[in-house]
Amino acid sequence: MTAPLLSVDGLATGYGDLRVVWNVSFQVWPGRITALLGRNGSGKTTSLRAVAGLNPVHAGSIDYDGRRLDGVAAHKRVRAGISYVQEGKRVFRNQTVEENLLLGGYSLGVRRSTLEAECARIYELFPILQEKRKHPAGSLSGGQQQMVAIGQALMAKPKLLMLDEPSGGLAPAIVAEVMSRIAALKESGLAILLVEQAVEAAVDVADHVTVLDVGKVTLNLPVDQIDDMERLKDVCMGRRTDAA
Amino acid sequence: MTLIYAGLSLGAVYALVAVGYNIVFIASHSFNFAQAQLMMVGAFVAYLGYVTLKLPTVIVIIMAMTAVMLVAAFEERIAVRPVADHQTQLITTLGFGTVLTGLVQVIWGTQPLQVPFAGGDEVLTFLGGRMFPDELALVVFAVALVVAISAYTQRRLNGLALVAMSQDEEAATLRGVSVRKLTFAAFAVTGLLSGVMGVLIGPKTYAVATLGAALALKGFVALAIGGFGSMYGGLIGGFAVGLVEQHVARYFGSGFSNLSVFAILLLVLLIRPTGLFGRVQERTV
């Protein structure tokens, strides 16, 4: 196995002085998907926010692409290739789909015309967005907004893509579609960190699973070592603490 | 026609204040209540350049732009950046404006000072009405500025980022936008423009220490009528306030002009609370 692109070790973080995550470690590899699972309030989103630079690191380390990320401002981490798709389809609702995608490439520091050409790549992945490119992003359906959010993140040509609950609030048929697109993305060598509540959908596409509970890791293993899904779900729900 | 021209040029002054409010509002969802005072400083610097130092126009404009930009940049550092929430910024920027008014009084006194206009003061006759060249320049500048800024926010990436930032600062950060740098830039650019505005409004309004308070109020009304965040709204609102004020003063007496402006404001807010061109903030669940 190649060396991990992102390696989080013994991370403790939270909001200001309030500590939510106590001791979390996980890795993400190029061309593979790591699923970060766990029930509500287990510290999944907070861990992602710390990697993105939105939350302070209280203890532990975050290594990315061979360097420590401590003290690197959030907007500079984007330039280093970390793209974070936040929970709840946070697109720029008043701006058009195309403007949203252009903003996705803001961190590249290139001309607008170059970015306009880059949009074609996203339209190929999500053809519906090309049709809707002049519409305000807020007028799109939930699934389409999620595509805008992912497309926006991909415009930055990331090495690491972090997705927070891409299935949240979407119809089951659309969840399957979004998940299959995510699975296809790793083929290009992208390292993907996927946070999910929908355990089965996540395990279907993931290569590695890390389960959190109350800010600590309770399970950490490659997907092919999981033989009992019910047991895994129990661990994710906090009903069982032993490894599967 | 002369009355309409007078209304339009006065309106252009208000529209310029509204534009200044708007740039900062778009960038940081906060009001810079020192905006009118920045323009006032610009007018005084123009007086200093033209009358006291007898400098050529180009130098005066550059001097006003630089001076007011520095003042605005200083304001951002001491009255905006250290204050996290937008409500408090209303107070700190208002305070900064008051300090500017005080400083100007200490330096230049309380008497109105006449600022000459580079384009001369020969009356122009146009479509059956008469107008001073500085009034024409004001109207043209206000319209051109609004068109230019609107194009900027739609065409340039930094303009798009500015609009994005006003919707969701955190999401903009995650797209690689340095929110802090862009907010600072918005203030600096507002200062730069306010310097030019000061040079242009000086001939019409005179450089006087009470200018800030007078303009701040009318500019705010212009913006409320047009809709917060809308550049064209601010322009239309400014012209509307100017025209109403001049016509009421002419036909009912100048005592009614301020009253009429607020009557219009109440009427607009009653019918369209977001202003003529304002957008309703939709909430998502």
Tell me the per-residue pLDDT of A147-202, one tens digit each, with 9 for 90 and over. 899 999 999 999 999 999 988 878 888 888 888 888 888 888 899 999 988 888 88
Asked if A103 and B175 come within 8 Å (Cβ–Cβ), the reply is yes
How remote is the C-alpha of A232 from its chain's centroid? 21
Domain residue spans of chain A: 88-157
d(CA A185, CA A87): 19
The predicted structure's pLDDT at residue B285 = 41
Query: What residue ranges do the domains of chain B occupy?
Result: 12-210
Name the minimum distance, in Å, from the CA of A226 to any CA of chain B.
34
Q: Do B175 and A138 touch (CB under 8 A)?
A: no
Using CA atoms, how far apart are residues B212 and A6, in angstroms rounded to an integer? Answer: 54
What interface predicted TM-score (ipTM) does this complex get?
0.85
Residue A243 in this model has a pLDDT that exceeds 60: no
Question: For tokens 């500590």, what's the residue?
Answer: A19
Residue segments in chain B with a per-residue pLDDT below the cut of 70: 279-285
* pLDDT computed for residue A158 by the predictor: 93
pLDDT score recorded for residue B279? 66
Whether the pLDDT of residue A78 is over 90: the answer is: yes
B156 reaches A (C-beta below 8 A): yes
Contact assessment for residue A26 and residue A215, using Cβ atoms and an 8 Å cutoff: no
Indicate yes or no: CB of A52 within 8 angstroms of CB of B174: yes
Q: What is the pTM of this model?
A: 0.83
Query: Residue B169: what pLDDT?
Result: 86
Q: From the CA of A156, how many Å to the nearest CA of chain B?
A: 8
Question: Looking at chain A, which runs of residues are DSSP E strands?
Answer: 6-15, 18-28, 33-37, 57-64, 67-68, 82-85, 160-164, 191-196, 208-213, 216-222
Sign of the alpha-carbon torsion through A37, A43, A47, A48: positive
How confident is the model at residue B89, as a pLDDT?
A: 87
Q: Is pLDDT of A244 > 50?
A: no
Mean pLDDT of chain B: 88
Give the mean pLDDT of A12-40. Answer: 90
> Which 3 state secondary structure label does DSSP give B272?
coil
Alpha helix positions (H), B227-278: 231-252, 257-271
Quick one: pLDDT at residue A112?
A: 87
Q: Is the pLDDT of residue A1 over 70?
A: no
If pLDDT is split at 50, 70 and 90, which confidence band does A242 have? Answer: low
